[in-house]
């Protein structure tokens, strides 16, 4: 049976740490996979996270535009960590909104029933529209030539 990966999560093995200021110590930042570290890495978590919303289309549009603007500002000042974190928030806007579109209440697993996967297709249609909005901005960020060059260099030098 497919169970959530967070059941085996070991904070001690997790690369990203909440007690590090990644603006002061960007050398400690790793790109990782997908959205890893997005809810931990300060000060970016606090700067970007307060704008991250996907309740409906209008809110998702406003949120994704603000985060994408922040992404471009981070790129313009060559702050790769900030740009990567903004990109992760855009990606997470897509994935979380999709989760709510697919599953009622955004819950994929039944904790009371040995984490059995719940029925898909029970979610909210408005979340699908919100997901599409974030998807477009996420892909715009990924396609940004300056960001792509910074990311390639970062991964080559630091991982």
> Is 2 part of a structural domain of the chain?
no
- pLDDT-above-90 percentage for the chain: 71
d(CA 131, CA 2): 24
Q: What is the CA radius of gyration of the chain?
A: 17
DSSP assignment of 70-137 = HHHHHHHTT-HHHHHHHHHHHHHHHHHHHHHHHSGGG--EEGGGTTEEPPSS-S-HHHHHHHHHHHHH
Q: Number of structural domains, the chain? A: 1
pLDDT over 80 at 1, yes or no: no
* Residue 45 within a domain: yes
pLDDT in tens, 116-151: 888 888 778 889 999 999 999 999 999 999 999 999
Instruction: Map 19-58 to HEC letters.
Output: CCECCCCHHHCCCCCCCCCCCCCECHHHHHHCCCCCCCHH
Domain ranges, residue 107: 14-26+35-158
Q: Evaluate if residue 4 carries a pLDDT over 80.
A: no
**In the numeric block, which tokens belong to residue 129?**
């529209």
Task: Find out whether 56 and 126 touch, Cβ atoms under 8 Å.
Answer: yes
Is 115 domain-assigned? yes
Q: Is residue 146 part of a domain?
A: yes
Which two structure tokens, joined as six digits, stand for 89?
Answer: 């928030």
- pLDDT tens digits, residue range 80-100? 999 999 999 999 999 999 999
In tens, the pLDDT along 44-75 reads 999 999 999 999 999 999 999 999 999 999 99
Answer yes or no: is 4 within a domain.
no
The Cα–Cα gap between 46 and 49 comes to 5
Q: Report yes or no on 114 lying in a domain.
A: yes
Give domain status of residue 3, yes or no: no
In a domain, 42, yes or no: yes
User: Does the reported pTM lie above 0.85?
Assistant: yes
């Amino acid at each position: 049976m497919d169970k959530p990966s967070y059941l085996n999560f070991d904070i001690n093995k997790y690369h990203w740490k909440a007690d590090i200021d990644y603006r002061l110590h960007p050398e400690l930042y790793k790109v990782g996979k997908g959205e890893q570290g997005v809810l931990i890495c300060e000060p970016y978590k606090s700067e970007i996270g307060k704008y991250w919303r996907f309740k409906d289309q209008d809110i998702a549009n406003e949120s994704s535009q603000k985060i994408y603007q922040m992404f471009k500002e981070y790129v313009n000042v060559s702050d790769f960590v900030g740009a990567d974190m903004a990109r992760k928030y855009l990606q997470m806007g897509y994935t979380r909104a999709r989760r709510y579109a697919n599953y009622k209440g955004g819950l994929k697993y039944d904790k009371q029933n040995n984490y059995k996967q719940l029925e898909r297709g029970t979610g909210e249609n408005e979340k699908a529209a919100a997901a599409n909005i974030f998807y477009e901005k996420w892909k715009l960020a990924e396609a940004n030539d300056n960001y792509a060059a910074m990311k390639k260099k970062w991964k080559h030098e630091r991982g």
